[in-house]
Amino acid sequence: MTIFLYIVTVLVWGTSWIAISFQNGSVDSLVSIFYRFGLASLLLLPFLYLTGRLQKSRRIDHVWYFLQGCCLFCFNFICFYKASAYMPSGLLSIVFSMAIFYNAINNRVFWGVKPSSSVYGAGVLGVIGLLLLFWPELQSTSASSELLLGIGLSALGTFGFSLGNMITVRHKKNNINPLTSTAYGMSYGALTLLLIITVTQTPITWDVRTEYLYSLVYLAVFASVIGFTAYLSLVNRIGANQAAYATVVFPVIALALSSVYEGYTWEIMNGLGLTLILLGNAVAMNLIGIKRMSKSLLKHAV
């Protein structure tokens, strides 16, 4: 079962970044994200309730659901959608893959889990890799400021995603299943987005483009309901650090799609940068030789 969840997460999230880029247009990003998680919560929460799969929760649990909703289904995606306007979706997914390092640090801060020494060396590889990956764009003075803004926003969104992972660990310690926390979290995230839209007086509009509708449905049903449920189930089964390995693999899918649909071109410098980032992520997860991950997957593959 763990291997299945891992494959689903990689495939769904690997293709979701290009769908996010299709959301850029006449509709404000706040509204697009609200549509996405509003639709996702309307599909998931009633389904769980009607089928009797929605766990009973205490008031304190709802406080954590709200916080998880803000981290995983609201503020982080505001950053991601804004960032997608300044950088190709494939590069955005690469920055997101740094969630491994955020998780290692946050696990130490919140749960006292000490990261392995390899994380520090991997961090150096990751930073060098990012510089090389974005080097062609950074050489263009006119594009540098927007690119740096995109990198900063995507890094901030990834940090929010990691905080949501830490809350998922809390849910596991309290025997809350991922379906329940995801359903409530998406609902609270959508309500928070609606509040922000109301306060900022952001106009609620619609985009008539076919690709906008198709990408919205894909993001709501597959990337949100299915993708997040699969990923948070992984966190619940094998831990935040091991589950984050999925973020190492799906950037390859995202970059391939970015090359086809967004005209992203490869050079020696950015190819070397991607290699160093993937290598750094592998080192951070103690994946050289793939022994640790293989053992973890095999142990939980029932």
Domain limits, the chain: 2-299
Residue in 239, 252, 269, 246 with CA at minimum distance from that of residue 171: 239
Average pLDDT (185-199) is 98
**pLDDT tens readout for residues 60-98:** 999 999 999 999 999 999 999 999 888 877 778 778 877
Give yes or no for residue 51 having a pLDDT over 70. yes
Q: Which pLDDT score, from 0 to 100, does residue 114 have?
A: 79
Region for residue 203 given its phi and psi (left: phi exceeds 0; alpha: psi -120 to 50; beta: otherwise) = beta
Q: 18 is written with which tokens?
A: 């290009």
Q: Which pLDDT score, from 0 to 100, does residue 203 have?
A: 96
Distance, CA of 222 to CA of 130 (rounded, Å)? 29
Give yes or no for residue 135 having a pLDDT over 80. no
Q: Which pLDDT score, from 0 to 100, does residue 297 have?
A: 46
Distance, CA of 115 to CA of 129 (rounded, Å)? 21
Q: 77 is written with which tokens?
A: 């995606």
- Give the DSSP letter string of the chain: -HHHHHHHHHHHHHHHHHHHHHT-SSS-HHHHHHHHHHHHHHHHHHHHHHTT-PPP--HHHHHHHHHHHHHHTTHHHHHHHHHTTTS-HHHHHHHHTTHHHHHHHHHHHHH--PPPTHHHHHHHHHHHHHHHHTHHHHT-HHHHHHHHHHHHHHHHHHHHHHHHHHHHHHHHHTT--HHHHHHHHHHHHHHHHHHHHHHTT--------HHHHHHHHIIIIIIIIIHHHHHHHHHHHH-HHHHTTHHHHHHHHHHHHHHHHS-----HHHHHHHHHHHHHHHHHTT-TTSHHHHHHHHHT--
Q: 80 is written with which tokens?
A: 């991601």
Average pLDDT (224-236) is 91
Q: Which pLDDT score, from 0 to 100, does residue 284 have?
A: 59
| 82 within 8 A of 153, measured Cβ to Cβ | yes
CA 22, 165, 279, 296 dihedral sign is: negative
Distance, CA of 194 to CA of 78 (rounded, Å)? 13
Q: 252 Cβ partners below 8 Å, 6+ apart?
A: 14, 278
| pTM metric for this prediction | 0.82
Distance, CA of 5 to CA of 135 (rounded, Å)? 35
Query: Is residue 289 very low, low, confident or very high in pLDDT (cuts 50, 70, 90)?
Result: very low
Q: Which pLDDT score, from 0 to 100, does residue 285 have?
A: 57
